């Protein structure tokens, strides 16, 4: 009798436990997040997920990253097999656009908060006509120049505002001889284009105005707006230090953080690495303008967004999560944990990192644009982005004149892109 009641009690408790578990499972929805940012795993686990789960009881998050090089392939096969997570980290432009066109990503136009993002912020994850947006913009990287504050103080140089001041500063550093004026190499090619051409270019083509005019075929790469940045770039060569033609990206980073170079043409993704390595004060200045008082433009390039698997079974929870991603709360956590990756929201975020803050200051001073070659213009062969790498290197190395380079790029683009013809 005692035994029986014991067994009954045991059974009952097991049953209760199952019921309780079942009830808990019914109430909790778990959203799986696919991402290529495996570096961010601790930040998601320690900061972002707890913050979200606290304010949204009943929804659990699971961050499930894949290494960057495998992400596109892994994601595509998971989506095809129907095993992909609910939330999907979106790369900008064509990679995600293809997913949206194939019906793998849902439109996010109706998610609260999405309408508050600027058109530039949404450009990486919208259809060409801008009507449908399919991912909530998360972060961008900003271009500019990081400089060694100690070196500038020692040589009595102020961060340059105009091109004249910029080259005067370079000349002064060169004549002093203590520092290499600017740390950049042309060996790996992409630096010359990304940190060179796309960094200084927006001031010439007036940011979005020029970029969109190029896409619509109203401007050509042979127009002064697009050739002049190459001419300026060509003038960098004497200030890049010995053997810059064989200098790699890592070389440039090391030269600067070891204090051997005074200026580093940069993207804001360097912030956390440089903070850890450099033991001198650093500051940021933005691409110099022609005349003092000219409107300035910065490359504020969209980099990562979060979207929703169109076939997700937890669509409601996913929408709630995306609405939170579009909120200032998420922006504040994300930008502070990953200095150098800036929230794309219009609401200003308070950043604790001083160097990242200086980059962010660019958005208040200058108008934002994205890299000119990324949207639409690099879909064909020859590929405008890759060609721009080559052209930037050639003009700096002096093996091609800016005019010849521009003519070659325009011919290449016009060969497959109708509006450019």
Partner 1 sequence: MTPDPSPARARRWHILVFLAPAVLIYSALMIIPLIDTLRLSFFTPQDGGQTFAGFQNFITLFTDPRWSVSFWNALKNNLIFFLIHMAIQNPVGIALAAILSVPKLAGRAFYRTAFFLPTMLSFVIVGFVWKLILSPIWGVAPTLMGFVGLKSLFGPWLGQESTALLTVSLISVWQFVGIPMMLIYAALIAIPDEVVEAAEMDGLTGFRQFWKIKLPLILPTLGIVSILTFVGNFNAFDLIYTMQGALAGPNFSTDLLGTYLYRTFFGFQLQLGNPTMGATIATMMFLIILCGVMAYLFFIQRRMRRYQF
390 binding partner 1? (CB under 8 A): yes
Nearer to partner 1, 300 or 387 (CB): 387
Q: Which listed residue (316, 399, 419, 421) binds partner 1 by CB under 8 A?
A: 399
Nearer to partner 1, 369 or 378 (CB): 378
Contact window for partner 1 (CB under 8 A) among 81-89, 105-113, 303-311, 384-392? 384-392
93 binding partner 1? (CB under 8 A): yes
Nearer to partner 1, 38 or 411 (CB): 411
Spell out a b/e string for 60-95, using b for 16 or more CB atoms within 10 Å of the CB, else e: ebebebbeeeebbeebbebbeeeebbbbbbbbbbee
| 3-state SS string for 265-284 | EEEHHHHHHHHHHCCCCEEE
Task: State how far the Cα of 39 lies from the Cα of 46, in Å rounded to an integer.
Answer: 13
Least Å distance, CB 388 to partner 1, is 10
| 3-state SS string for 98-154 | HHHHCCCECCCCCCCCHHHCCHHHHHCCECCCCCCECEEEEEEEEEEEEEEHHHHHH
Contact in structure between 320 and 118 (CB atoms under 8 Å): no
382 binding partner 1? (CB under 8 A): yes
Contact window for partner 1 (CB under 8 A) among 138-146, 293-301, 318-326, 387-395? 387-395
**3-state secondary structure (DSSP) of residue 192:** helix
Q: Which listed residue (374, 402, 417, 420) binds partner 1 by CB under 8 A?
A: 374
65 binding partner 1? (CB under 8 A): no
299 binding partner 1? (CB under 8 A): no
251 binding partner 1? (CB under 8 A): yes
User: What are the distances in angstroms from CA 87 to CA 83, 102, 128?
Assistant: 12, 17, 23
Q: Which listed residue (244, 321, 330, 341) binds partner 1 by CB under 8 A?
A: 244
Task: State how far the Cα of 37 lies from the Cα of 43, in Å rounded to an integer.
Answer: 11
Least Å distance, CB 213 to partner 1, is 20
Nearer to partner 1, 203 or 253 (CB): 253
DSSP codes joined into one string, 344-392 = --SS----S-HHHHHHHHHHHHSEEE--TTTSSTTSSSS-HHHHHHHHH
Q: Which listed residue (148, 189, 332, 369) binds partner 1 by CB under 8 A?
A: 189
Handedness of CA 64, 70, 72, 74 (dihedral sign): negative
246 binding partner 1? (CB under 8 A): yes
Nearer to partner 1, 366 or 409 (CB): 409
Where along the sequence are the contacts to partner 1 (CB under 8 A)?
Answer: 93-94, 185-190, 241-248, 251, 255, 373-374, 378-379, 381-383, 385-386, 389-390, 393-394, 397, 399-400, 412, 415-416
């Amino acid at each position: 009798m005692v035994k029986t009641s014991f067994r009954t009690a045991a059974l009952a408790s097991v049953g209760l436990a199952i019921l309780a578990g079942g009830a808990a499972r019914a109430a909790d929805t778990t959203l799986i997040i696919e991402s290529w940012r495996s570096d961010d795993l601790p930040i998601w686990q320690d900061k972002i997920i707890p913050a979200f789960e606290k304010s949204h009881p009943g929804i659990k998050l699971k961050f499930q990253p894949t290494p960057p090089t495998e992400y596109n392939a892994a994601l595509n096969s998971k989506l095809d097999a129907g095993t992909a997570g609910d939330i999907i980290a979106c790369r900008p432009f064509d990679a995600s656009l293809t997913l949206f066109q194939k019906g793998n990503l849902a439109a996010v136009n109706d998610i609260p908060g999405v309408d508050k993002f600027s058109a530039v912020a949404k450009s990486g994850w919208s259809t060409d006509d801008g009507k449908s947006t399919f991912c909530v913009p998360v972060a961008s990287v900003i271009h500019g120049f990081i400089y060694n504050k100690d070196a500038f103080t020692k040589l009595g140089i102020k961060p340059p505002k105009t091109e004249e001041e910029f080259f005067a500063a370079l000349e002064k550093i060169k004549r002093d001889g203590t520092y290499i004026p600017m740390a950049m190499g042309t060996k790996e090619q992409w630096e010359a284009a990304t940190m060179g051409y796309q960094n200084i270019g927006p001031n010439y083509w007036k940011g979005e105005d020029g970029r969109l005019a190029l896409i619509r075929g109203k401007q050509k790469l042979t127009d002064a707006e697009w050739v002049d940045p190459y001419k300026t770039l060509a003038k960098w060569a004497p200030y890049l230090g010995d053997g810059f033609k064989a200098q790699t990206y890592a070389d440039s980073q090391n030269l600067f953080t070891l204090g051997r170079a005074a200026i580093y043409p940069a993207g804001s993704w360097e912030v956390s690495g440089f903070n850890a390595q450099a033991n001198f004060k650093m500051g940021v200045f933005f691409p110099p303008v022609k005349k003092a008082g000219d409107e300035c433009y910065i490359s504020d390039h969209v980099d990562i967004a979060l979207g929703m698997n169109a076939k997700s079974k937890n669509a409601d929870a996913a929408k709630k999560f995306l609405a939170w991603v579009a909120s200032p709360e998420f922006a504040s956590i994300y930008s502070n944990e990953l200095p150098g990756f800036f929230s794309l929201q219009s609401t200003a975020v308070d950043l604790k990192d001083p160097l990242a803050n200086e980059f962010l200051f660019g958005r208040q001073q200058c108008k934002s644009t994205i890299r000119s070659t990324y949207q639409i213009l690099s879909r064909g062969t020859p590929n405008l982005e890759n060609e721009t790498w080559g052209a930037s290197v050639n003009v700096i190395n002096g093996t091609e004149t800016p005019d010849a380079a521009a003519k070659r790029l325009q011919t290449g683009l016009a060969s497959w892109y109708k509006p450019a013809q």
